[in-house]
Amino acid sequence: MHQIHHPVSCYICPICSALLQLNPSAKSYVCDNNHHFDLAKEGYLNLLPVQHKHSAEPGDNKQMMQARREFLEAGYYKPMAKAVAMMINANQPKHLLDLGCGEGYYSRKIEADCSSTMMLHGIDIAKFAVAAAAKKQPNARFIVASSNRLPYADQYFDFVLRVFAPSNDDELKRVLKPSGFLLTVTPGPRHLWQLKQFIYAEVKEHALESELPHGFERIDMQRISYKIAPNSQQRIALLQMTPFAWRANESVRQTIKDIAELEIETDFILTLALLKP
C-alpha cells in the first residue's frame, strides 16, 4: 500500500457525504454509515459509485488515452506544462488538485518542477487513466470520481488546476479555501488553427480571455504560443484530443494523415484567479 494514504482523510463518501476514514488493515476507506471503498493495487481510490455512472466505463476510452499519451509524451505541450508548473511554484500551495488529470502528465511535470512539498491530488472519471497515473506517480493521491461531485472535504485545497477540463463552479468553490487559487488552461485564439482548417469551412478565433466562474477574480494571465510539427500518427492523436474530432470524417482524417508536412500553431491562455473570500 502506498505510504501517502493516512488516517486523517480529505475524502467524503460519494453516497452519503460523511467523512471517509482509512482502515489501514483492510486497505479501504469507510464512512460512519459503513460505505466501503477499497484502495486499488495501483494505489488509487475509486469514488465513483455505480449509480453516478452514465456508462459502463465513463471518460476517455483506451484508444483515446493511448493517443493522448503518445502525443503528450512526445513533449509537444511541454512549454505550456512548464509555464503551469512555474505559476504553481510561485504560489507554493500545500494541497493541489489536478482536475481531469487523465494519466497525470501535468501532475508529473508539477512534481518534477516544483520545489515546495505540496500534496498533489488528481481526479478523473476514466478509471484506466487514473490507474496509469497512480502507477507512475506513487507520491500523489489519485481518485476516480466526477468533477460534478467532488468527493473532497470543504475548503481542503488551496490550489486547483484545470487544463482543458470541465468543472462544476459550485463544487470548485466548495473545495477551495477562501483566497484559494484556480489556474485554468484554455485554448487561445489561434489554437490548432491549421488542424481546424481541414474541418471547418470558416475557422473562428477563440476569445482571448476565458470566462471565469462567478466569485473568482483574475490576477494573472499568460499567453503561450508556438508551432509544432507532429508526424502523421501524432496529428491524428492530437485530433482525437480535441472537442472537434467528431466533425472529422474518414476522408478528412486521411487527408490530415497523408499530408507530407504540417506545422500547427498551439495557443494557450493560462489564467490565474483567486477565490474572493
Dihedral, 38, 171, 128, 244 alpha carbons, nearest 10? 170
Distance CA 190, CA 264 (A): 10
Instruction: State phi, psi for 244 to the nearest 5 degrees.
Output: -100, 10
C-alpha cell at 264: 500547427
Q: Which CATH architecture has domain 58-275?
A: 3-Layer(aba) Sandwich (3.40)
Tens-place pLDDT, residues 180-211: 999 999 999 999 999 999 999 999 998 888 88
* DSSP three-state, residue 258: helix
pLDDT at 158: 96
Tens-place pLDDT, residues 106-138: 999 999 998 778 999 999 999 999 999 999 999
Distance CA 164, CA 175 (A): 19
Distance CA 199, CA 173 (A): 37
pLDDT at 2: 41
Picking from 7, 12, 6, 10, the residue whose alpha carbon sits closest to that of residue 151 is 12
Assign 57 a pLDDT band (cuts: 50, 70, 90). Answer: low
Considering only 25-29, 56-60, 112-116, 264-268, which range has the smallest mean pLDDT?
A: 56-60
pLDDT at 217: 96
Helical spans, DSSP H, in 115-249: 127-136, 169-175, 193-196, 232-240
pLDDT at 36: 92
Q: What would the mean pLDDT of 90-111 be, rounded to a whole number?
A: 95
Distance CA 103, CA 110 (A): 13
C-alpha cell at 127: 478509471
Average pLDDT, the chain: 91
| Helix axes of 127-136 and 62-73: crossing angle, nearest 10 degrees | 40
Assign 9 a pLDDT band (cuts: 50, 70, 90). Answer: confident
Burial class of 72 by CB neighbour count within 10 A (0 to 12, 13 to 18, 19+):
buried
Question: Can you say how many angstroms the Cα of residue 201 is from the centroid of all Cα atoms in its chain?
Answer: 31
Sign of CA dihedral 257, 187, 136, 115: positive
Assign 277 a pLDDT band (cuts: 50, 70, 90). Answer: confident
238 pairs with which residues across the strands? Answer: none
Q: What would the mean pLDDT of 69-86 be, rounded to a whole number?
A: 95
Higher-pLDDT residue of 208 and 146 is 146
Picking from 61, 49, 1, 44, the residue whose alpha carbon sits closest to that of residue 25 is 1
Residue 34 CB neighbours (<10 A) = 9
Distance CA 250, CA 227 (A): 25
